[in-house]
Structure 1
Amino acid sequence: MTVHKDNLFQYNTKQRWKVFLLLFAALIAAASLLYTNYLVKNLSLSERTKAEVWAMSTRSILSMPDVDDQFISFVYAVRDSLSIPAIITDAQGNIIFWRGLDSTKTNIKEHGGDSTQQALQYDPTYFEKQLAEMKRSHPPIDLLLDNNETWSVYYKDSDALRQLRVFPYIQLSLIAVFLAIAYSVFNSIRKSEQNLVWVGMAKEAAHQLGTPISSLMGWLELVRMKFDAEDDNILNEMERDVKRLEIVADRFSKIGSTPTLTNHIVYNVILDFVNYFKVRTSDKITFELQGDRTIEAKLNIPLFDWIIENLLKNAVNAIESEGKISINIIDNIAKEEIFIDISDTGKGIPKSNFDSVFQPGFTTRKRGWGLGLSLTKRMVNYHQGQIFIKESEIGKGTTFRIILKSNLRYEPTQV
């Protein structure tokens, strides 16, 4: 099995676990809501039964004035046991009786003549609102009297039932907030551990490269002296490659430290690297650099060259035989930003992979670790910038866009 398949399998496995956990969480939420709705439905039926009992007890009191006092007391007790808010209206819609409403809005005292009378009156505005809410909540219970007049009994849910309706949503929201905080904390710890491993490996790699690079420089000087080849083109190119190795080692040695950012003309920095890179690629691939030649930005040259190198290597790998790589530098004066668009005429990237390509371990190459674009994004972040796929079309090519601040001061973060 190739490295590509291993990495892709691990990436797909991680994605499947995320989907599985998301579905499991959705299943728990759905089960909680279904069970709560089941309880709400049963309690709602129970409260309607109570409202019907209250209505019938009220009718009994009105239709049986000469019944035994003990029985009447029992009927009153049944009626008064109702705990939910309710209103009875006559055939014309006038309010006759109520239960469980705000006592401050009822039993208003009226003064007449020399005496004070207690009248069953109510605040019209308050009761109209309550009646309208009850009509929206449940269909009325019809109450047929002995004189064939029909009264209507309206009621609404008790406070307990209303709270039960919203409880699962509050509970799930709190659980979601807790899980989000827990995930953020654990993810931060995991990234911190990864960063420690990354920093340790990078510094060790820089240390291990130091000795052979120094030896190669020494051997080159000996070859020049022995064969009197001070201006030999082959040896000069070899020296450039060895110096390139020194830059790579320097990059790794800077991991974990705060990079130094200084003002540079972006066009010149990119041009220097393109001139080095293009002689080491196929003659069938042409390079074009255009755009603003004067705009400056705060850069760390070794790290910024690494960004451009990774993107150019990706572009070369995407071009199967011959093609073109274009770099365009655009000054977005309005937002004080620099756009660096790197385009190729390669095979393109599916839109479904636009975000995935920057994830560690994601690669479509047979031999690759899937770290190039992940590191590129990380280094762009060191420059307080952004990188994303601006556009891509299968069979026609891809354009990556880097956004940097143009010559503005900001505090760099650790590499």
Structure 2
Amino acid sequence: MNPYQYNQQRWKFFLLIFAAIIAAASLLYTNYLVRNLSKVERTKAEVWAMSTKSIMTMPDVDDEFITFVYSVRDSLAVPAIITDEKDNIVFWRDLDSTKTNIKTTAKDSSNHHLDYDPHYFEKQLNFMKKSHAPIILNLDNGAKWMVYYKDSWFLQQLRVFPYIQLSLIAIFLIIGYTVFNSIRKSEQNLVWVGLTKEAAHQLGTPISSLMGWVELIKLKFDAEDDETLNEMENDIKRLEIVADRFSKIGSTPVLHNANVYEVIAAYIRYFKVRTSDKIIFELTGDKHVEAKLNIPLFDWIIENLLKNAVNAIASEGKITVKISENIAKEEIFIDISDTGKGIPRSNFETVFQPGFTTRKRGWGLGLSLTKRMVHYHQGHIFVKDSEIGKGTTFRIILKSNLTYEPTEI
């Protein structure tokens, strides 16, 4: 991992830990408040139960006391149900008024007939039994009343509030990170595009001069067929192609139908004479398949993969390029294999990330650029197979018959 990736991962780790601390602190403090409010609400439920008992079991007390008890009871808003020992409902408080009703007889106001939705009360009673332990009221006749209650609406909201809050914060952070990351990448792309175009512009003048000098040398020494000068001329043309590649970054290059075998064969002919004689190149497969290519960019793809293959081979070995076609899916497979040191399976995806490299020198941008250029051709590239000490195979998949929608590279 390069220093940039290391620092990036370290900051992500610190931010993750900081976010976890904030989340834990918020949840702990909210739970602290909930526990204390739960104690307060139980006290309110107990006072409400005692006041209700006083009203319903002591009807002969004076009106002033009853009025006081009523005012105390009515000030304690806690959803509750009072039952006898057989779970028969005696009284309730602060439940859905559309499903509850209390009727009293004309003869005796203490004789209550309860008219209610039994399913609703059964559901509420079961919920209250699970929420809190009942408050037990001992009556003068030896019977018992069981007071069940549930948390108030405010306390219920308080329990879920931190989760809603954290969820909203997380959504905001994700959106913010995505937006700022997109802006940062756009700015970086603008910088790279500017640098590459300037590099292409600066290379243009000396390349033209070198081409002129080579022509003058040939004329002066009558060396039109000199092999060394011809190879120098090929290298200068290659520099011209490289400059042209950089000038295309940030624009939309044009794709044309091209014979895949011939394009790859032409580059291998140029590349292998500049490589060790101990490395053997082999090109096999279908010689007639065509795809829409931008040849300078496609050469760049093949160049990066062949250079990686050469670097993976310690001293001597073999590089094989195989072209095949899946007619049913209209796909072209280009497999580039080497007999080098191989890639660990854990790095099959990582090798395409910017900055990843196993070499002491290098920017780690070759395969990243390669993937981007393959994507421009509306194809994809991946590590098909690799074994440590035996070699690696990269596979490029292109469409053989596709209407392209070019994008900027």
TM-score of the two chains, using structure 2 as the length reference: 0.89
Identify the match of residue 403 of structure 1 among 382, 397, 401. Answer: 397
Partner of 1:23: 17
1:250 aligns with 2:244: yes
Unaligned runs of 5+ in 1: 1-6
Identify the match of residue 86 of structure 1 among 80, 86, 92. Answer: 80
Offset, 1:70: 2.8
Q: For residues 266 and 166 of structure 1, what CA distance do their matches in structure 2 show?
A: 61
Identify the match of residue 58 of structure 1 among 39, 52, 56. Answer: 52
Unaligned runs of 5+ in 2: none
Instruction: Give the direction of change, closer, same or farther, for the CA distance of 1:273–1:44 in structure 2 (3 Å limit).
Output: farther
Offset, 1:308: 1.5
Offset, 1:98: 0.9
Higher-RCO chain (CA-CA 8 Å, sequence separation at least 6) = 1
Instruction: Report the AA paired with residue 91 of structure 2.
Output: F
Instruction: Give the direction of change, closer, same or farther, for the CA distance of 1:90–1:333 in structure 2 (3 Å limit).
Output: farther
Partner of 1:149: 143
Partner of 1:199: 193
Instruction: Report the AA paired with residue 24 of structure 1.
Output: F
Q: Is the 8 A contact 1:107 1:119 kept in 2?
A: no
Q: For residues 322 and 55 of structure 2, what CA distance do their matches in structure 1 show?
A: 91
1:37 aligns with 2:31: yes
Partner of 2:163: 169
Q: Which moved more, 1:124-133 or 1:305-314?
A: 124-133
Partner of 1:266: 260
Q: For residues 284 and 151 of structure 2, what CA distance do their matches in structure 1 show?
A: 71
Identify the match of residue 95 of structure 1 among 79, 86, 89. Answer: 89
1:378 aligns with 2:336: no
Q: For residues 290 and 159 of structure 2, what CA distance do their matches in structure 1 show?
A: 60
Superposed, 1:67-86 pairs within 5 Å as: 67-86=61-80
Partner of 1:182: 176
Q: Is the 8 A contact 2:133 2:148 kept in 1?
A: yes
Offset, 1:102: 0.8
Partner of 2:40: 46
Partner of 2:302: 308
Q: For residues 204 and 248 of structure 2, what CA distance do their matches in structure 1 show?
A: 14
Offset, 1:408: 0.8
Instruction: Report the AA paired with residue 376 of structure 2.
Output: Y
Instruction: Give the direction of change, closer, same or farther, for the CA distance of 1:169–1:343 in structure 2 (3 Å limit).
Output: farther
Q: For residues 90 and 319 of structure 2, what CA distance do their matches in structure 1 show?
A: 86
Q: Which moved more, 1:277-286 or 1:351-360?
A: 351-360
Q: Is the 8 A contact 1:263 1:407 kept in 2?
A: no
Q: For residues 54 and 133 of structure 1, what CA distance do their matches in structure 2 show?
A: 19
Q: Is the 8 A contact 2:105 2:113 kept in 1?
A: no
* Deviation readout 1:17-55 (Å, 9 max, x if unpaired): 122122222222222222222222222232222222222
* Deviation readout 1:300-320 (Å, 9 max, x if unpaired): 111111111112211211222
Partner of 2:279: 285
Instruction: Report the AA paired with residue 394 of structure 1.
Output: I
Q: Which moved more, 1:19-28 or 1:7-16?
A: 7-16
Instruction: Report the AA paired with residue 294 of structure 2.
Output: N
Q: For residues 227 and 269 of structure 1, what CA distance do their matches in structure 2 show?
A: 34
Q: Which moved more, 1:79-88 or 1:67-76?
A: 67-76
1:230 aligns with 2:224: yes
1:362 aligns with 2:352: no
Instruction: Report the AA paired with residue 173 of structure 2.
Output: L
Q: Is the 8 A contact 1:139 1:154 kept in 2?
A: yes
| SS of structure 2 residue aligned to 1:399 | strand
Instruction: Report the AA paired with residue 389 of structure 2.
Output: G
Calculate percent identity across the aligned residue pairs: 77
